[in-house]
C-alpha cells in the first residue's frame, strides 16, 4: 500500500463504532460498557443518508459507522428501508456511490476522506469526470493520491483534465500533470493558452525542444504578446489575429496600441462576419466602460461606421449600455453622429428607467425621443418594478402639466404620458418586488389602483410587509395563487398570515411546489393544517427532483399515492437512491426503457450513471 493511501493505524482494522450519545448514556454503567457498539449498530445510520452526503461532513467515524452497518449480501438485508441494504451488497450501487462520494470528497479537498474511499472501494475506476472536477478546483494533494492509486491499481482516467487545469488558471497543477501524466496532444493548445494569459514561464516550461513561442502565439488579452506579434509582423499575416487583437485592446483600454493595429484593417476583409462580430463586441466593451477615446477610435473608423449604420441590433445595444449607465455625454456623442434609428429601440428607455437615471430620462425627453406607449415596454411599469420612485414622481409631474394648445410638443408629451399611466400595472409590480414606499406613494397620488395580482405577487416573492400593508389598506385581496406560491417558495410566515387573515384558501396543488423543492418542513405544516389538499402529482414532483427524504415522508403519510409515469431531472441528486426506494416500495413494474434513456442517461449524464442504467436493465429482463 502506498504511503499516500495509508490511514492512521487505529483505523486500519474494522472496529465497532460507538455513537457519542450512546457513550454518554453508558458512561456511568461499567457493566454495559461493552454493549456500546452493539447498541450503536442497532440504531443504525439514518436510512436516507447516502455515503456521498456523509462524505460532505468529513467524519471518518460516520463513514465507518455506515460501512460497518451495511450488509454484505442480499440475504442479510433488513426488511425495513435503508440505504445500508445496498452499499456493500449491490455491485452497481456500490460503484455508483463510490463515484458520487469521491466527487464530493475530492472537490472538498478532503484528503482523509478520499483515502478512506480508495481503501474501501471495490476496484472501481476513477473517471475523467471526477478527475476533471478535482482539477477544476486545483486540489493538487488529491491528484497526488489519485496518481498513487493509479500506480497500484492502474484505474485512473486523466483524459483532458490538464486542459481544465489551464482553463481554471491552476498553473502549478498544469506543471505537475505535464511532468507526471504528460500533456500529450494538448501541448500545443496549452502553450497557446499560457501565452494568452501572459504566463510566459509556463509557456516556456511546456515548450518542446527547438520550438518557438511565436509558433503558438495568438493575440488573446496579453498586451505584451499583441505588441510582440505586431512588431514581428505576425498580425499583418492573419486577419483573424488582427481583429482578435483589436477586440482585446478595446477590452484592456490600450488606445496607443489599438491605433497602431487598427491600421492593419484590410479594405476588403476575407470574412466580414468575424470583423462585424469582434468589432461589435469591442464597441460594447468600450461603451460599457465609457472609454470615450476607444469609442471614438472604433466608431469613426470605416468598419465602425458600417456597423453602426447597417446593424441596428449592435447600435441598440450600445445606446442601451450608455443609457443604463447614465452616460449623457456618450449619448450626446451618438446623437450628434446623426445615425438613423439610433434611439428608436425601447431598450434605451428601459435601461435608463430601470437603473434610476433620471437625468438621462430628461435628456431623452428634451430631444423629443419619447418612450413608446406599447404595453410590453411601459416605462412606468419599469420604474415601479425597480422601485424608482423619483422617476415615477417625475412622470406624475409631467402628467399634471396643463396646456391649451394640443399641437404643442408639451401637450403631445402629456397625452403620451397619460397613455403610459393608463396601461401601467405599477402597484402590482411594485408589490411583487417589495417596494412598499412606491406602493404607498402610488396609493396616495395615483388613481390607477391595482389588482389581486399585487398581493399574489408579494406573497410569491416573500414580501410579508407588503402583504400586510395591502391587507390593511386595499380591498383587492388575493387569489389562491398567494398561498400556493408562498408554499412553493418556502415563505412560511406569509402562508401562516394568509391562513389567518384571508379566506381565498389554496388550490389542490399547494403541496406540489414544496415536494418539488424538497421542503419537508413546509410539507409537514401543510399536512397538519391543510391535510386534504394533496394530488397524486406530489409524489411525481418529489421523484423528479430526487428528494429522497421527501419521498419517504410522503409514502408514510400518504400511503394511497400511486406511482404513475416516472421522470427525473437531468441534474437530480440521489438518482440511484431514489430508484432503489421506488423499487423497494412499488416493485419494478414502473420501470420502462424510456425512463432509462430520458431520466438516467440524458445527453449530459454523469459517466457513472451508467451503473444505474445497467442495474435497471437487469431488472427489466
Q: Is 441 a residue whose pLDDT tops 90? A: yes
Give the tens place of pLDDT for each residue, 76-115: 999 999 999 999 999 999 999 999 999 999 999 999 999 9
Q: Is 291 a residue whose pLDDT tops 80? A: yes
pLDDT at 37: 54
Q: Residue 621: count other Cβ atoms within 10 Å of its Cβ.
A: 4
Q: Residue 33: count other Cβ atoms within 10 Å of its Cβ.
A: 11
pLDDT at 12: 34
- Distance (Å, rounded) from C-alpha 498 to C-alpha 503? 8
- Distance (Å, rounded) from C-alpha 122 to C-alpha 89? 11
Q: Is 7 a residue whose pLDDT tops 50? A: no
**DSSP 8-state code for residue 411:** H
Indicate the range of 18-22, 242-246, 547-551 predicted with least confidence.
18-22
pLDDT at 510: 94
Q: Residue 27: count other Cβ atoms within 10 Å of its Cβ.
A: 11
Residue 17 · residue 65 · CB < 8 Å: yes
pLDDT at 552: 96
More confident residue, 470 or 162: 470
What mean pLDDT is reported for the chain?
A: 85
**Own/partner long-range contacts of 22-30 (Cβ < 8 Å, ≥24 apart):** none
More confident residue, 597 or 342: 597
- Distance (Å, rounded) from C-alpha 417 to C-alpha 380? 9
pLDDT at 226: 82
Q: Model confidence at 279, in pLDDT bands (50, 70, 90)?
A: confident
Question: pTM of the full predicted structure?
Answer: 0.81
More confident residue, 274 or 380: 380
Q: Model confidence at 6, in pLDDT bands (50, 70, 90)?
A: very low
pLDDT at 9: 34
**Own/partner long-range contacts of 91-96 (Cβ < 8 Å, ≥24 apart):** 91/122, 92/576, 92/611, 92/612, 92/614, 92/615, 92/618, 93/576, 93/580, 93/611, 93/615, 94/121, 94/122, 94/124, 95/122, 95/124, 95/608, 95/611, 96/576, 96/608, 96/609, 96/611, 96/612
pLDDT at 8: 31
Q: Is 16 a residue whose pLDDT tops 60? A: no
Q: Model confidence at 40, in pLDDT bands (50, 70, 90)?
A: low
Distances in whole angstroms, Cα of residue 371 to Cα of each of 311, 397, 419: 22, 16, 11
pLDDT at 10: 33
Q: In the structure grid, which three cell numbers stand for residue 305, read together?
A: 461606421
Give the tens place of pLDDT for each residue, 219-235: 666 777 788 778 877 77
Residue matched to cell numbers 385581496: 477
Amino acid at each position: 500500500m502506498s504511503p499516500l493511501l495509508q490511514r492512521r493505524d487505529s483505523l486500519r482494522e474494522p472496529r465497532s463504532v460507538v455513537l457519542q450519545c450512546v457513550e454518554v448514556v453508558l458512561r456511568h454503567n461499567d457493566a454495559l460498557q461493552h454493549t456500546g457498539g452493539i447498541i450503536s449498530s442497532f440504531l443504525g445510520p439514518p436510512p436516507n443518508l447516502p455515503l456521498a452526503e456523509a462524505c460532505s461532513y468529513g467524519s471518518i467515524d460516520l463513514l465507518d459507522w455506515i460501512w460497518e452497518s451495511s450488509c454484505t449480501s442480499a440475504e442479510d438485508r433488513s426488511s425495513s428501508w435503508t440505504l445500508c441494504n445496498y452499499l456493500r451488497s449491490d455491485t452497481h450501487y456500490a460503484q455508483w456511490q463510490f463515484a458520487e462520494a469521491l466527487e464530493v470528497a475530492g472537490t472538498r479537498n478532503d484528503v482523509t476522506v478520499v483515502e478512506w474511499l480508495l481503501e474501501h472501494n471495490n476496484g472501481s475506476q476513477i473517471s475523467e469526470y471526477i478527475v476533471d472536477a478535482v482539477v477544476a478546483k486545483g486540489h493538487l494533494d488529491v491528484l497526488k493520491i489519485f496518481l498513487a492509486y493509479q500506480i497500484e491499481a492502474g484505474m485512473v482516467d486523466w483524459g483532458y483534465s490538464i486542459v481544465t487545469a489551464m482553463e481554471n488558471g491552476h498553473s502549478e497543477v498544469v506543471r505537475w500533470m505535464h511532468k507526471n501524466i504528460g500533456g500529450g496532444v494538448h501541448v500545443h493548445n496549452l502553450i497557446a493558452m499560457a501565452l494568452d494569459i501572459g504566463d510566459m514561464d509556463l509557456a516556456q516550461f511546456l515548450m518542446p525542444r527547438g520550438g518557438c513561442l511565436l509558433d503558438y502565439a495568438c493575440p488573446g488579452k496579453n498586451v505584451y504578446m499583441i505588441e510582440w506579434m505586431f512588431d514581428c509582423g505576425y498580425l499583418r499575416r492573419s486577419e483573424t489575429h488582427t481583429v482578435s487583437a483589436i477586440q482585446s485592446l478595446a477590452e484592456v483600454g490600450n488606445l496607443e496600441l489599438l491605433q497602431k493595429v487598427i491600421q492593419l484593417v484590410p479594405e476588403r476583409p476575407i470574412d466580414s462576419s468575424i470583423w462585424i462580430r469582434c468589432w461589435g463586441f469591442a464597441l460594447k466593451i468600450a461603451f460599457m466602460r465609457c472609454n470615450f477615446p476607444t469609442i471614438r477610435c472604433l466608431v469613426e473608423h470605416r468598419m465602425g461606421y458600417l456597423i453602426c449604420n447597417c446593424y441596428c441590433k449592435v447600435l441598440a445595444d450600445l445606446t442601451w449600455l450608455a443609457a443604463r449607465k447614465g452616460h449623457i455625454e456618450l449619448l450626446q456623442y451618438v446623437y450628434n453622429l446623426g445615425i438613423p434609428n439610433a434611439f428608436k429601440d425601447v431598450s434605451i428607455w428601459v435601461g435608463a428607467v430601470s437603473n434610476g437615471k433620471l437625468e438621462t430620462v430628461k435628456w431623452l425627453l428634451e430631444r423629443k425621443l419619447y418612450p413608446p406607449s406599447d404595453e410590453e415596454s411601459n416605462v412606468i411599469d419599469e420604474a415601479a418594478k425597480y422601485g424608482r420612485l423619483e422617476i415615477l414622481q417625475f412622470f406624475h409631474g409631467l402628467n399634471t402639466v396643463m396646456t391649451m394648445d394640443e399641437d404643442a410638443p408639451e401637450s403631445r408629451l402629456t397625452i403620451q404620458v397619460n397613455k403610459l399611466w393608463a396601461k401601467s400595472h405599477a402597484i402590482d409590480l411594485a408589490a411583487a418586488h417589495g417596494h412598499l414606499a412606491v406602493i404607498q406613494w402610488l396609493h396616495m397620488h395615483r388613481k390607477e389602483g391595482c389588482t389581486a395580482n399585487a398581493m399574489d405577487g408579494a406573497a410569491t416573492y416573500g414580501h410579508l410587509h407588503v402583504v400586510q400593508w395591502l391587507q390593511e389598506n386595499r380591498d383587492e385581496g388575493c387569489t389562491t395563487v398567494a398561498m400556493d406560491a408562498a408554499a412553493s417558495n418556502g415563505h412560511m410566515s406569509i402562508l401562516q398570515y394568509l391562513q389567518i387573515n384571508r379566506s381565498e384558501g389554496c388550490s389542490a396543488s399547494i403541496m406540489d411546489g414544496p415536494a418539488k423543492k424538497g421542503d419537508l418542513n413546509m410539507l409537514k405544516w401543510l399536512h397538519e393544517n391543510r391535510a386534504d389538499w394533496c394530488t397524486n402529482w406530489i409524489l411525481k414532483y418529489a421523484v423528479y427532483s430526487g428528494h429522497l427524504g421527501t419521498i419517504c415522508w410522503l409514502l408514510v403519510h400518504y400511503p394511497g399515492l400511486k406511482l404513475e409515469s416516472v421522470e427525473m431531472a437531468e441534474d437530480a441528486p440521489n438518482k440511484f437512491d431514489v430508484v432503489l426506494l421506488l423499487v423497494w416500495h412499488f416493485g419494478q413494474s414502473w420501470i420502462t426503457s424510456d425512463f432509462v434513456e430520458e431520466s438516467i442517461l440524458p445527453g449530459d449524464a454523469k459517466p457513472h450513471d451508467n451503473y444505474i442504467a445497467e442495474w435497471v436493465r437487469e431488472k427489466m429482463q
